[in-house]
A = this chain, B = another copy of it.
């Protein structure tokens, strides 16, 4: 299960070309998701908009992968987690998070969440906060991209509601014990931490030496 797809003969230039084709498409779909939630136009204009959307979908489906995107890896070992709902550049559900790892192993991401991520009025859905923390802590724990660690346990403490808008998340490893990696992290806004997390991540059986 859960193996990466190794794509032979795909150069870095090919990856760059695919990125420049599909990244702006997904960005347009993100705008559309927001507009679909917030629109107040009448039924006739909605019907016209829907016809445009269905035409776009039909064009895109003319040639498509049989199943989900998977996690593709090029001949050069470059990862393409483009369908991922947290970081995928081709997945309009994803903000997408852009993760940065500093020299001390701290993984962080600055991101902005709008109407599509709203739970309590004006605030981020608690489950979206959980998704961000799961992803950041998982990325912290997976230092080697070929041997990912899967979440074993994740605990989130919500200190206060997280407002929609500009946010930041951070994570770091606290210790590693055999197949288990322990990580902590948080989400914060300009006023400080809104939610904290700790997680235990496990090396999957198929990736153990």
> Chain B contacts of A69 at CB under 8 A?
37-38, 115, 118
Check A106 for interface membership: any CB of B closer than 8 A.
Answer: no
Check A187 for interface membership: any CB of B closer than 8 A.
Answer: no
**Smallest CB separation, A196 vs chain B (Å):** 10
> Chain B contacts of A39 at CB under 8 A?
22, 60-61, 63-64
Greatest chain B CB density within 10 A among A55, A56, A150 is at A56
Question: 8 Å CB contacts to B: which residues of A145-186?
Answer: 148, 150-158, 161, 164
For A88-128 the 0/1 string (1 means CB < 8 A from B) is 10111100000000000000000000111111111101111
**Smallest CB separation, A142 vs chain B (Å):** 11
> Chain B contacts of A157 at CB under 8 A?
152-153
Q: Report whether B31 and A43 are in contact in the complex, using a CB–CB cutoff of 8 Å.
A: no
From the candidates B32, B118, B153, name the one contacting A70 in the complex (CB within 8 A). Answer: B118
A: interface residue count bin: 35 or more
Check A68 for interface membership: any CB of B closer than 8 A.
Answer: yes
Docked Cα-Cα span, A56 to B42, in Å, equals 13
Interchain residue pairs with CB less than 8 A apart (24): A1-B120, A2-B121, A4-B121, A21-B43, A24-B50, A25-B53, A29-B32, A29-B53, A33-B33, A37-B88, A45-B60, A52-B52, A53-B56, A68-B121, A71-B120, A85-B116, A125-B131, A127-B130, A127-B131, A130-B130, A151-B156, A151-B158, A152-B158, A153-B155
> Which 3 pairs across A and B sit closest by C-beta, in order of nearness?
A127-B131, A127-B134, A68-B115
User: Contact residues of A with B, CB < 8 Å?
Assistant: 1-5, 17, 21-22, 24-26, 28-29, 31-33, 35-43, 45-46, 48-50, 52-57, 59-65, 67-71, 82-86, 88, 90-93, 114-123, 125-128, 130-135, 138, 148, 150-158, 161, 164
